Amino acid sequence: MKLELAVLADFASLTQDGKLNILGIFHEVNPPMLPFPLPQLYLVTSFEAESEDYGKQRLIRVVLREENDVGAEMLAIEGLAQVPQPTRSGEIVLVNHVLGLSGVTFERAGAYEFSISVDGEGKAAVSLRVTDVADDPRGDPNV
């Protein structure tokens, strides 16, 4: 499967017919204090299936870690995704996913990364910067 989209958002959902709704794409949070439990975030992915994927299950794994600490996983989630058969010849088959997370705690400021793999093959990394407002010269406390 080929990754077409991977973003972090304030909110996301899938309609019954598989359309993605995404609100508030972001790459940085500015918590008022650290450590900080982020109330809610969504990791949104969209994969384009290839013919060898049709009708099969694929293991999708998401790992959150600090960018500089490649060994330590803050969070790891995995699940099986069923890839449908195309309904028409030549149709593009998309496999859309919305992963909602709440209360993920960031202990310190810095760069974090959500790594996404399918069947053990790395597909993408989505970066998230956590800024310490006390060290930010702008002084913007908005998250």
Long-range contacts made by residues 33-37, C-beta under 8 angstroms, separation at least 24?
34/106, 34/107, 34/108, 34/109, 34/130, 34/132, 35/105, 35/106, 35/107, 35/108, 36/105, 36/106, 36/130, 37/103, 37/104, 37/105
Query: What number of other Cβ atoms are within 10 A of residue 82's Cβ?
Result: 9
Which has more pLDDT, 70 or 41? 41
Name the pairing type of β-strands 36-38 and 104-106: antiparallel
3-state helix, strand, coil in the chain (%, to 5): 5, 55, 40
Instruction: Determine the average pLDDT of the residues in 97-103.
Output: 95
Delimit the domains of the chain by residue range.
Answer: 2-135
pLDDT level of residue 142 (50, 70, 90 thresholds): low
Homologous superfamily (CATH) of 2-135 is Immunoglobulins (2.60.40.10)
**How far is Cα 131 from Cα 143, in angstroms, rounded to an integer?**
10
| Residue 31, pLDDT above cutoff 70 | yes
Write out the two tokens for 66.
Answer: 């600090």
pLDDT level of residue 91 (50, 70, 90 thresholds): confident
Instruction: Determine the average pLDDT of the residues in 108-128.
Output: 95
pTM of the model: 0.86
pLDDT level of residue 110 (50, 70, 90 thresholds): very high
Which has more pLDDT, 88 or 112? 112
